[in-house]
């Protein structure tokens, strides 16, 4: 199913207005605004990546709201570079850049897999980070299998090329020997 892009800046401004109207405590309001800005920067950075195809950007833009929720409920989101949500977003972005083309091609069904991850987060995430950790483990396992397959194919191709070179050398030696006799 086609998903339309989320205008991240529009979401930011709406959230800021909502928080400004809701919060009377200046300190809480500033902290909430800071959280919104930081999550926004994470997504703006991801969305400005020229190596990431537009359709992957569109898909990943839907994670903004759940990730904002994660940032509000788990302060480790910003403090820990290895936070599961941050690592998952990075993994999805890397895979999208690597195996999805701007021409709507997708190697290893990676676009479909990214779509499944985004869809599960949107449908299943409430406030339990364990879902994100589970999805991260599943996705990284999927990518690891792809990498293993690629390495095996590259190894086989290298061995085949080396075998063909060896065969060529043997044929040349045989032809020289025949000509010499």
Q: Write down the pLDDT at residue 57.
A: 96
Please indicate, yes or no, whether the overall pTM of this predicted structure exceeds 0.85.
no
Mean of all residue pLDDT scores within the chain: 86
Q: What is the pLDDT of residues 130-174, one digit of tens each?
A: 999 999 999 999 999 998 988 877 777 787 777 777 778 877 887
List the alpha helices (DSSP H) in the chain: 8-22, 26-47, 54-61, 64-73, 76-79, 84-99, 110-124, 129-180
Q: What is the pLDDT of residues 65-118, one digit of tens each?
A: 999 999 999 989 999 999 999 999 999 999 999 999 988 888 889 999 999 999
Which residue has 């800046």 as its token pair? 9
Q: Write down the pLDDT at residue 22.
A: 58
Q: Write down the pLDDT at residue 102.
A: 87
At residue 6 the predicted structure's pLDDT band, cuts being 50, 70 and 90, is: low
Q: Write down the pLDDT at residue 23.
A: 52
In a 10 Å sphere around its CB, with 0-12 CB exposed, 13-18 middle and 19+ buried, how is residue 114 labelled? buried
Q: Are 96 and 60 in contact (CB under 8 A)?
A: yes
Q: What is the pLDDT of residues 81-91, one digit of tens each?
A: 999 999 999 99
Please tell me the distance from the alpha carbon of residue 94 to that of residue 27, in angstroms, as a whole number.
37
Q: Nearest Cα to 61, choosing from 28, 101, 92?
A: 92
Mean pLDDT lowest among 12-21, 41-50, 65-74, 110-119: 12-21
At residue 17 the predicted structure's pLDDT band, cuts being 50, 70 and 90, is: low
Q: Write down the pLDDT at residue 15.
A: 66
Distances (CA, A) of 13 to 8, 82, 110: 9, 28, 33
């Amino acid at each position: 199913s086609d998903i339309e892009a989320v205008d991240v800046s529009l979401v930011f401004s709406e959230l800021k207005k909502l928080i400004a109207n809701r919060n009377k405590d200046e300190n809480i309001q500033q902290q909430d605004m800071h959280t919104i800005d930081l999550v926004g920067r994470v997504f703006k950075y991801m969305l400005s990546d020229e190596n990431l195809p537009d359709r992957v950007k569109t898909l990943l833009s839907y994670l903004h709201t759940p990730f904002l929720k994660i940032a509000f409920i788990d302060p480790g989101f910003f403090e820990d570079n290895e936070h599961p949500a941050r690592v998952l977003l990075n993994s999805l972005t890397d895979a999208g850049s690597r195996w999805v083309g701007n021409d709507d091609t997708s190697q290893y069904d990676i676009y479909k897999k990214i779509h499944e991850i985004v869809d599960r987060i949107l449908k299943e995430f409430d406030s339990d980070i364990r879902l994100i950790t589970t999805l991260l483990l599943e996705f990284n396992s999927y990518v690891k299998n792809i990498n293993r397959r690629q390495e095996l194919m590259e190894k086989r191709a290298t061995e085949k090329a080396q075998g063909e070179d060896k065969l060529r050398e043997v044929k040349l030696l045989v032809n020289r020997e025949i000509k010499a006799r």
